[in-house]
Amino acid sequence: MTKNMGTIDRLARALLIAPAATITAFALGLGSIAGIVLLVAAAVMVATAAVGFCPLYALLGIDTRGRRPLVHG
């Protein structure tokens, strides 16, 4: 499993998106379908940010790590 998420992407997921989804879930009600979906989405965001790998990015061929230095043989 190769990392495909850059630092900014990981920070945005962990510090912006997951907390916003959690707050919205509380506002909508934790027992509601929307609340549960948002809590699951927040958990996925935190998990993918922690490991640096997003399965959806892998499927779509997205890599937000930026440029990598050339390897000289």
Domain total for the chain? 1
Q: Which domain holds residue 44?
A: 7-60
Output Rg (C-alpha) for the chain, integer angstroms.
15
Identify whether 66 is part of a domain: no
* Predicted confidence (pLDDT) per residue in 1-39, tens digit: 889 999 999 999 999 999 999 999 999 999 999 999 999
Q: What is the pTM of this model?
A: 0.83
Q: At a CB cut-off of 8 Å and minimum separation 6, what does 60 contact?
A: none
Identify whether 16 is part of a domain: yes
Contact 42, 25 (CB under 8 A): yes
Q: Which pLDDT band holds residue 66 (cuts at 50, 70, 90)?
A: confident
Identify whether 67 is part of a domain: no
User: Rounded to whole angstroms, how far apart are CA atoms 18 and 7?
Assistant: 16
Identify whether 32 is part of a domain: yes
Identify whether 46 is part of a domain: yes
Output DSSP code: residue 70: P
Contact 10, 52 (CB under 8 A): yes
Identify whether 71 is part of a domain: no
68 or 5, which is more confident? 5
